[in-house]
Amino acid sequence: MRAKVILSACALALGILFPAVYFHFKPETPAVIAPPVAIDDTTAPAAVPPILKRVAPSKEGLPERPSAPMNLTGSAHDDYVLQRKAQLIDMGMSDNPANLKVILSELENPEPEIRQAALTATLDFGSKDALPVLQNELAYATDLQEKMDLKNAIDFLQLPKFGSSGDATARK
């Protein structure tokens, strides 16, 4: 009788421990993300509706956007990135609509740190005018974390502002 109890207890322990150890050390399989449909009108298939084509920002009335020197390496590149991030954060604190356009144009910057700073500055600016650009960028983002950040930013900007007419009706 004792042997049955001991064998049953061992089998139960193995039945519980084996899946726990297996799933703990199981390698993560990366999610497959489909590539964007089109970057501009020249590469878009004929069947793609115009809404899915990347919108090119208009250049009129924008403050000058400094271009990143392509041959920067090491500390010079890091200094440029830090300087541009600081400029974007400063623009996010202003109320100038032209600054919002510059901030939104930096969402397409090839440097991930600058794109993240532009997203933060967009949230700091707090204008719902940024929603179409953010939704467009969400469609073309390839990094999963960047997609989540863009989605969270869209959700945040869609929230009603504190003290707006939507809050007054909700309290009644």
* Averaged pLDDT, 75-102: 90
Q: What is the 3-state secondary structure (H, E, C) of the chain?
A: CHHHHHHHHHHHHHHHHHHHHHHHHCCCCCCCCCCCCCCCCCCCCCCCCHHHCCCCCCCCCCCCCCCCCCCCCCHHHHHHHHHHHHHHHHHHCCCCHHHHHHHHHHHHCCCHHHHHHHHHHHHHHCCHHHHHHHHHHHHHCCCHHHHHHHHHHHHHHHCCCCCCHHHHHHHC
**pLDDT tops 90 at residue 134:** yes
Q: Confidence class of residue 165 from pLDDT cuts 50, 70 and 90?
A: low
Lowest mean per-residue pLDDT among 46-55, 80-89, 155-164:
46-55
Give residue-wise pLDDT tens across range 4-55.
Answer: 888 888 888 877 877 776 666 665 555 555 555 444 545 545 555 555 555 5
